[in-house]
Structure 1
Amino acid sequence: MKKLPLLLFVALTSVLCSQEATPRRPMALLIMLDGMRADALFNTHMPNLHALMKGEWHPDYKGAFSDCAQALTDAKPSSATNHAAIATGVTATKHRVFNNGQTKDGNFKEWPSWLGRLADTKPQLKTYFLYTWGENDHTAPHPKVKGKRGPSDAANGRELAQLLATKDAPEATMIFVDWPDAGGHGTGFYPYGTSFVRAQMQSDMLVGNLMKAIASRETFAQEDWLLMITADHGGMSTSHGMWGGQASTIPIVMAGRHISQGQLAGIPNHYDLPVTALAHFGLDVSTMKLDGKVIGKQVQNPAKRPLKQGLQAYFTFDDKEAKNLAGTNIKATLLGGEDTASGLGNGFADGFLRVPGFAGHGVALEGTEKLQFENKTNFSITMWVRLPESQIGDPAIISNKDWNSGQNPGFVLNAGKRGDGAPWTGVGFNYARSGKVNRADLNTFHIEPREWVFYAVVLQANGAAYVYQGRRDGNLHWIAEHAEDIVINTGMKWHIGQDGTGNYKAPLNGDIDDLAIWNRAITFDDVRKIYQAGRNGMSLGDILE
């Protein structure tokens, strides 16, 4: 008689263990925010996306993000070509949509959308694609995938939120949101216009409503959700489609039960997300010959280090002789001598460095030609720059290369450059590369004439080059590009107001202050801290730990 309770206990235990071992039902939502720049995610009040990034949406879910993800490189950063890539997981070379108006002729039979692949391999799953732009009628259509062009982003958001809260919700959903793109075209992607900022906030509210709907599901605890948010492109002024980083540096945000918390490793692409979604549903993506890769597990969370660590040169230019407050052997030598005859000034006066725009003037940083960098290529520069409205030519602000060719080894932060599609001349960053692409040109930052503006260059361990601009309105903008193969060493001294030769034909006309150089990559938080300190009237020296 005593054996029955024991047998009952064993049976109940087996049932409970079986229930715990039952895999959760995979579910996925991919959201594309058309025209959203990576820096907008950090400069705009977007509490829902920030909660996803920080892993604060739900206790069982972690968040990952990238602030340097990239749009396509085999087609200019416009809408249709990148929409097709986000849908299919392949680049333009395969899907054959290179510009707007070409989607109807895309190669989607060979390269279907991730929703179409799921519909073919797992026909029991429900799939849904929701959008507003008419050209997406032709973005990888599939007879088994429900697609709908809704009347507006607001209406689409409401419909999808209602649907996701029900038992009839599709297991795999993709929604394209046009608000940010419309806002950027209206008043500017960069510098931010009011309609662009408002569009970011509207988009965040839409995302938040979808998050709430998902979390409210009766079966949420038995489900394994993967949330993915990205953009097709960014923009500059009121347009996009230009090379140089302003339109191609985009964000990625992910949340899931199996995501690792932190910044995604390396430089991901938006077309990694559909591939990641397919893997989430158990498909073997290694056999599909897709261009994207599975992301979300590998993250990089740089350790916080004192700002003094790795600081090789720091000049406040407060004295007639520029002292290197970093305490290393790097010295600043004035080229061209003090200029008093012209009345324009040259040298260390009034608490900053003035470079008057005459041939042979500038500063040579003695000893920089021997700099050794962490991980061979990691370094950082921060400074405040004041420039007139225009320059003669494209002078160097700081450089260690022969700027007569952008393919020459080394780097240059330059002024007076008009990059591809730029409506203005401004500040850009060039460096040589050793791979199939022999140079990189990140541009063009808009100049605020005769105002002090913050700039930073950081070569990160993730293989990305970041160029930051901190403007008077408090927004810290940036663009990024691959730099795993940067050719940094030239044997030349770093120069201020000149290229590495010291004899570039176009001399700089401008002022420099609070210049710092590290032989390592400082973090985004470091860059923002230095920028905000400057806005509050403090120098780097005031915040050095």
Structure 2
Amino acid sequence: MKKEGVLIGLLFLLIFACSNTNQEEQIIEPTKNVVEKKVIIIGIDGCRPDALTAANTPNLDALIANGTYSLDARNTGITISGPGWTSMLTGVWENKHNVVDNTFNSYNYTAYPHLFKRIEDYNSDFKTVSVAQWHPINTKVVKSTADVIVNSEDSTLDTEKKAVNELTSNELTAMFIHFDDVDHAGHSTGFSLNNDNYINAIEKVDQSIGNVISALKNRENYDKEDWLVIVGTDHGGIANNHGGTTDEERTIFIIASGDNIPNKEIAKTTTQTTIPNSENCLNSNSELKFDADGSIEISDNVAHSFGTSQDFSIECRVKSDYAGDVHIVGKKNWDNGVLPGYIFSFKTNTQKFKVNVGDGTNRVDLESTVITDNEWHTVSATFDRDGMLKVYVDGVFFNETSMASIGNLNNNFPFSIGADGNNKYKFKGSVAEVRIFNTLLSDEDISDWKCKVLDNNHPKYDNLQGHWKLDEGTGSIITDSSSKSANGTLTGGNWADISNEVQVNVHNYDHTPRTVDAVITALNHLCIPIQDSWNLEGISLIETNCSKN
């Protein structure tokens, strides 16, 4: 009986021990998997969405496939880099941040700082890094808000290299990377999906973005991180420029990519409608249209060079809805207004028609009024070499300024229509009835002939140095009806029959993203509360449940 009692006691102790062990195991909780939210914003300067679609971009395509995106996003502000990047990185438009050009002179940094200041104010332990190929982003907008500021060399590869190096930091919370070579290619050779140089620049940036994303995924703690990758651009472009209000300049793209973001596209809607055609008082049966895709070159002719003292006048008919930094007619290299020559163009920030003359040392610019309503207008300018430069629109005098400081206008470029002497700064619109005189037209001359095809009844007909009616309707030879017989050669462009009505596509971008959406999207992902006092604009592209983090 004693042995049986001992055995029963031992069995009881064993059962108790096992039961106690099970209870201890049951109250042990597994370690919680804490995921850190992080964001990287990648900016590709001057990248048109249609060219992005045409290019071979497997890395950007992968980001699109793993997120929410729009190829119809809009920069509804000023379409140049200073205002564009400031709007994207502050979350407000230029009427608040006050950056209206690339000087950044009036930037309201105190009220509307860079995104990184919002992040650092929320948690000073959050590390922020800005890598920029265009250095004013760092020196003028980021300022001291980032923990690390890196100005790369002016190349895609060096920007990639420096960005990859910064991604090795485990403490990193937010990063901005700016690539500039696509914009360079647009300015030098044209913002167009048909331009191989522009497409190649996009493809090279895509390769670098692929290496950046690989470096991100190779981070030591990547499996414990929740990354939002935002990719966007500041503006598009047309011909060799931007800064205007065309769809080509305003339409941008934005991608918000991440493992927890739904894959969807936010697109514009398009309808077709019929509208009356603009009335042309010249009664032509056809018109020559340029879509920033052509030009007329008239071989260098002494009749179009006015030296240091020869007075002259120029007139033409214009129809356009695009007030970009373009060459309508003239004889000049438009890379710089100081360079010798003369030109009809637009002042991009005011959208007004303007005339420029330069002699290599001095320049004179004279504005008039807005004419980009897609209706025909006659623009005229008289150049009194020791007096005033005057500009007229539809036979009415608008403005004048002294041009007595301007010396020799001569250069080796041809007189050209639709693009400058280097076949750049291409015009978008229609041109007709181009005339050059080696004398000053009077107010009466200009008013009486503002809407007539010039003939030998004109009081200054004997002073005619060139007259291109642009009414051929077909072919590439543009006839000079003056005695100079300086015929031109048309490249590109399109002859269109004139009808009473035309069909146009009407695009509705009301529900597509905007430049300013990037900041709110980033803050939303990082679960940083947005204060009403910040007065931010834009809408978040993503939804996130921050209560679970």
Greater RCO (Cα-Cα under 8 Å, separation 6 or more): 2
TM-score in terms of structure 1 length: 0.49
**Larger radius of gyration between Structure 1 and Structure 2:** 2
TM-score in terms of structure 2 length: 0.49
